[in-house]
A and B are shown apart, each in its own frame.
Chain A
């Protein structure tokens, strides 16, 4: 009868967060953070945007320049816990954070995208006292380069500072693993991997030991890179990394990606429309082949060898073009294709197009920030290191730092009463990755990664029932 007193949403005290700039990343952040129950104030120059955002989400909107002292004051910078500057301009973002740091006692996160600044990121961060500097283009490029290193995978995510990887791939029909129970894999192949998620049709499973795999499943597993490659070879995949890559569009993301690929010894060919940008790129990336032309021109693509390239990454600023290019490349070649998509609506449609690997720069950035915010919210006992959403937000992979305060260090995992749909994927101890079994223990100083379908984890104790 008194069910009107029951909360219908997330409640509890949140952080006071000021977000400057309601662009793509800004809006994603607003949506996610307001759902997690934080007090959010939004600043943007554009009146219409502010109005729309404050009408859709439970946030307060202020129209003005976020780097302006009085505007920040009006947004309550004095009592704010965190300011996130994600406007179009790097300079404005840095200025916002600098001014905010002077006025209030808050943490600051700035988005810095241009290579001019991002090469000195750590210097900037330390000197300006920023909590975080995010660079969506670079993060997206890093993810793309990881996938190109293991082309059999749909997604590759790094954990434990790159020591462990979460790899997602589709199990082909008629494979060795068809009809195999998960606990047998380690015995069968004598490789140290852990299957931590299975997508079958519409459903997502966090598999227990007795889960039976089937051809056509999309499997996510955790392993070190070496073990992962061995595992993939064992079940019959070509695991050689690609030798060359064709990139369409010469923006920032293309620059970062080319730089990483060239560093790994992969040949890069960039097709870019603007002559001046081509010249710039050729100075910045002397080893890359820079083609001046329209990347959406079918003949040019064929001339430059789209049919025999080993990988193809369309990185234009327009999602539709990227998608079309991907579909075309899939049709005419066997290349590994990665699609970058900026928008996040119509995700369902995009998923059904079967594009293979898709990367969403704005998700990558917002996830990093949300992990930081969650960590800050409960800073005494909290220790989330990274947080990653899997399977369209239906599961989360979370990396925890274990401190002395943790109540179950030294207890064998099989004796812990864990929540349902939760799996401990690896323990990172002294630079080594341990794929745990029931007899392993968690110790202080470890990092532990879990995969779970439950939401709202804040500290490692939340694992237990």
Chain B
């Protein structure tokens, strides 16, 4: 295990967070808020600690997937802990577990809040809350990779651990260029949305935070009713961009390089739009039959569907009051999630496609027991390894989900609340149903349940295994054994001398 390299990387991640924390400081400067000093203080502290840690020189550059996963998981934990300090210091969220919940919810782009009155927060805290979405959306390690070149396998293993999707591919040969390209696309679309929102007479601050929330598919609103009080134009803009950020970024790469046809041939992207279209149609019909004007019904349905499938979690209507068929569709969309390689969470459309094909293959093997059939996606045979790991992923996902629901249920709320609270956090969505519905918040839960949900959010964002591997005993054994053998080796070396 390459501990020195992991510590070095964690230090660099903290340094980046420290730098990014200057944004809320700027906001505080604009609005003359004294809370800004806390942010400045924490930013300086983070930079200092990060600087100290990155002084640790890596002894070797051996860096396998195992190290990548551990570095990724630890850096997300560290990021969240450091990020929640300002909330505590400003006194806006005095409890540690509440502040941690809010920050993790931000970085993992979940958007579940424990605050009952969001509008009471200072501007700089609101900005930081939304900004965490933007940072977490594409991933801070991907950002790190875009800025610094690492040697050999190190960078790809980090990227694999942080990027969502069953199989991670590179757009261009070098990881660094791939990461840069991803951030350029990400930044570009964010700016585009920001400008379009400004056109809709939104204030600069609102447009900025909303754009951050949409880009990371996060969903922290800065109003108590989320996006509901804005004009229909703005709601449509947000709808379109939510859906755009849920598209596999490979598609944008193809469009950038004028291979538009290839972009639309991606099976996952097609499936994604198909699911959105069908869901919107069904919910619109349902709302329309409950005597809502067709245009309003379409807008509300499209917004809610886009918000849930991309795992953003903004809302313009209290869908908790909708008919149960519409609610069921939304809950199903929660699990479905966005495309792999996007900023969204959930199981991912590509995994759903793979699973459906696996089931079809199984049918086929019952009818023709000796037939051989390879699963193909985008006209390419899928490696058995990917199919297998997808199946295992789903199983682990279901296990984790059930255990979390059980743990939350200990508190004694109704089943819908427990079920959707876990669904909303594990899939990084935000609001659930019933007591955690779009007009409610997570504040009423006890500390234990909050920690369980914090874990779920992190596990959901990192796609389970990078986080779960931290709890594997052999990792601990290895750390311990290595330290011991290192000591023994150095003793032996001394004796030799």
Contact = CB atoms under 8 A, between A and B. Distances in A.
Nearest to B380: A63
Given A1-B51, A4-B16, A54-B156, A9 B172 contact: no
A58 B54 contact: no
B261 to A, nearest CB: 14
B236 to A, nearest CB: 37
A47 to B, nearest CB: 7
A56 B154 CA distance: 8
A56 B65 CA distance: 10
A3 interface: yes
Interface in A49-74: 54-60
The main secondary structure of chain A at its interface with chain B is mixed
Interface of B: 11-12, 15-16, 47-48, 50-51, 54-55, 65, 144, 147-153, 155-157, 170, 172-177, 383
Interface string A34-49: 1000011100000100
B149 A39 contact: no
B148 A4 contact: yes
B149 A4 contact: no
Interface string A185-211: 000000000000000000000000000
A8 interface: yes
Contacts of A54: 156
Given A39-B174, A47-B383, A58 B12 contact: no
Contacts of A39: 172-174, 177
B145 to A, nearest CB: 10
Contacts of A34: 152
A60 B54 CA distance: 29
Contact of A4 (B15, B48, B153, B155): B15
Give the 3 A-B CB pairs with smallest separation, nearest first.
A4-B12, A60-B173, A39-B173
B151 A9 contact: yes
The main secondary structure of chain B at its interface with chain A is helix
Interface string A235-260: 00000000000000000000000000
A276 interface: no
Contacts of B177: 39
A350 B282 CA distance: 72
B47 A58 contact: no
A349 interface: no
A348 interface: no
Contacts of B176: 11, 58
A10 B173 CA distance: 15
Given A4-B54, A9-B151, 15 more contacts: A1-B47, A1-B51, A3-B55, A4-B12, A4-B148, A5-B147, A7-B149, A8-B150, A11-B149, A16-B173, A34-B152, A56-B153, A58-B155, A58-B174, A60-B172
Contact of B148 (A5, A47, A56): A5
B152 A58 contact: yes
Contacts of A7: 148-149
Contacts of A56: 152-153
Nearest to B58: A8
Given A4-B15, A39-B177, A57 B152 contact: yes
